[in-house]
A and B are shown apart, each in its own frame.
Chain A
Amino acid sequence: MKDVTESYVTADGRTIGPVVMEMKNITLRFGGVEAIKDISFDIREGEIRAIIGPNGAGKSSMLNVISGFYVPQEGEVWYKGARRPSMKPFEVAQQGIARTFQNIALFEGMSVLDNVMTGRLTHMKTGLFAQSLWKGKAEEEEIANREVAEKIIDFLEIQAIRKTPVARLPYGLKKRVELARALAAEPSILLLDEPMAGMNVEEKEDMSRFILDVNDEFGTTIALIEHDMGVVMDLSDRVVVMDYGKKIGDGTPHDVRNNQDVIDAYLGVAHD
């Protein structure tokens, strides 16, 4: 067990920071159905943390707990060394946790640039009155936010479509725009809900490259959900494996790959 407040270097030579978020004994029920059963794990600064598992394992529920969309019946969420009180999703976002959605939730009527700019909303501090008058500080702020947005648009190679209404974009690009919007918040944790779902091989490769680049370039801590094992193993530093709401494995991709429970969950096990 590594110390929670200290950094360490992985076998791949990557430096992983101290724990930034810790889930303690989380249980989530929908009526009588337990979607998550007593799960604990942590997320360390600067790492790419994957949550994997077969369909219906409770991965998305877990992500929704982290981002405040679901409130667990039991357990605690610790963030930056303090217990997080029960919060609305927008408050979680204001704390610096950005996310994308499995089914893409973009502002379809807005341009790509406008979408990315909404990601900057949590960084706009000027009051309603100053904003309405559009003077001084508000203007400076707008320019600074615009610069960040443009930088991210360049980084994700979507300059060509910055003025295009999102509704007209193909699926793969929409996913990338959603990533751009989440990144624009300069989050301390970036949550990606199946960033590669429904993509072809080429798009998946692009997306993997962007996720790695984001982590490298900005040092962003990323927690992602994926059920494509191959992709996850290449991307992540550490992996949590879920099955039927329970945690069945937690460790480096190498550890997890050789975990008998994980193999059973993915390949099925003979009942004799």
Chain B
Amino acid sequence: MNEQLAFTIEVFANGLMAGVLYALVALGFVLIYKASGIFNYAQGVMALFAAMTLVGIQNGQVPFAHLINAIFGTDVHHFGWHVHSFLAIALTVVVMIALAWMVQKFVFKHLVGQEPIILFMATIGLAYFLEGVADLMWGSELKALNVCATETACLPQGMNVWLEGTTYEALGYGFFIDNLDIVASIVAAILVVGLVMFAQYTKQGRAMRAVADDHQAALSVGVSLNFIWVLVWSLAGFVALVAGIMWGAKSGVQFSLSLIALKALPVLMLGGFTSIPGAIVGGLIIGVGEKLFEFLIGAPYLGGATENWFAYMLALLFLVFRPQGLFGEKIIERV
């Protein structure tokens, strides 16, 4: 098989995998935006916060250790135990739900009916606040994250040997695909199917769609807006946790994790702010697009590093020619 073609296919596959991670972050945005019209700038920080909380609980770190030590003159850092990954994930989910409740109770409950720009500003404030809390709670050093079912069965790292071998035998060229990316894709697929089923077939899902469509009408059929908003922030928190685990396992839990939120922006421009399938397809297009562009045009002709801006360029083109995105609701202005 043609070496160049095979290599292109490999880049394409790797792009898909990267796109899955973008899509995961974008998904969190869509959930909140659909139900409440809030563009949640803090989604990336939520992923960071979730990942840090997970690592902290797993390692038995004492939350707010520095603060406690400074005030009481103690010297506590660790509880001295190690929490099983699954239990730690469950506890992190509880923390994310508590966070959702507090965000609704202390911030957005008081901003109902405000202009979108005000809600957006509130989420910027929330992002920095949450980043500070994460720092204070768990410390700012880079942490390794791994999720393990047993001592030896952890999230897989490194290249998938089987895939490399098989493709080498079949095509004469071994594909390099990261194991973790494959797991991330499967988890993302399950997550999306789960979310869609939840929205379509449960009472709460139906209520959620009702709120997303019309607040007043939702009230009139007995839906509590407050409850639904806590619910979508919790779901977004859960999605953030999944994204945080995948990104964290890939490149360590560090503060730059919160910047992936910015990569989700072009994904949303492409997919539309209100469409769950749009977030997925948009993520995949950006992932594949930036990898292929770098490989075929960027590196040979433009001196490389095009991955930094390609997504935003693509988003800009979309804004000019199709502002509602691929799947967004069509913007019709009646005169």
- A residues lining the B interface (CB < 8 Å): 67, 69, 88-91, 93-94, 98-101, 105-110, 114, 117-119, 121-122, 124, 126, 128, 131-132, 134, 138, 181-182, 185
Contacts and interface: CB of A to CB of B under 8 A. Distances in A.
Contacts of B329: 109
Interface in B211-246: 212-214, 216-225
B204 interface: yes
Contacts of B213: 107-110
Interface stretch (B159-167, B195-203, B289-297): B195-203
Contacts of B214: 105-108
Given A106-B217, A107-B217, A108-B214, A121 B202 contact: no
A121 B198 contact: no
Contact of A90 (B202, B204, B206, B219): B219
B145 to A, nearest CB: 27
B119 interface: no
A132 B206 contact: no
Contacts of B223: 90, 118, 121
Given A105-B216, A118-B206, A90 B225 contact: yes
A101 B213 CA distance: 15
Given A90-B225, A108-B213, A121 B220 contact: no
A98 B207 CA distance: 16
Given A107-B210, A132-B202, A94 B217 contact: no
A128 B220 contact: no
A100 B220 CA distance: 8
Given A105-B217, A109-B213, 14 more contacts: A90-B223, A93-B220, A94-B222, A109-B212, A109-B329, A110-B210, A118-B223, A119-B221, A121-B207, A121-B222, A121-B223, A122-B222, A134-B202, A138-B202
Nearest 10 A/B pairs, CB to CB: A93-B222, A105-B217, A107-B213, A131-B202, A122-B222, A89-B219, A124-B203, A94-B222, A105-B216, A90-B224
A121 B210 contact: yes
Contacts of B216: 101, 105
Given A88-B224, A90-B222, A122-B222, A117 B217 contact: no
A116 to B, nearest CB: 10
A94 B249 CA distance: 46
16 contacts: A90-B223, A91-B224, A94-B222, A98-B220, A101-B220, A106-B217, A107-B213, A107-B218, A109-B212, A114-B209, A121-B207, A121-B223, A124-B203, A126-B203, A132-B202, A182-B220
A101 B217 CA distance: 8
A256 to B, nearest CB: 29
Contacts of B202: 128, 131-132, 134, 138
A265 B278 CA distance: 56
A128 B203 CA distance: 8
Contacts of A110: 209-210, 213
Contacts of A132: 198, 202
B199 to A, nearest CB: 11
A117 B207 CA distance: 10
A91 to B, nearest CB: 8
B203 A185 contact: no
A126 B201 CA distance: 13
B209 A107 contact: yes
A132 B219 CA distance: 23
A122 B224 CA distance: 11
Contacts of A128: 202-204
A118 B224 contact: no
Contacts of B220: 67, 89, 93, 98-101, 105, 182
Most B CB within 10 A of own CB, among A110, A119, A122, A182? A110
B225 A134 contact: no
Contact of A122 (B198, B217, B221): B221
Contacts of B203: 121, 124, 126, 128, 131
Interface in B121-142: none
Nearest to A178: B217
B219 A118 contact: no
Contacts of B201: 131, 134
Contacts of B219: 69, 88-90, 93
Contacts of B212: 109
A94 B218 CA distance: 12
A186 to B, nearest CB: 12
A214 B222 CA distance: 21
B128 to A, nearest CB: 32
Contacts of B225: 90
B219 to A, nearest CB: 4
Contacts of A67: 220
Nearest to A145: B203
A110 B200 CA distance: 11
A93 B216 CA distance: 12
A181 B213 CA distance: 15
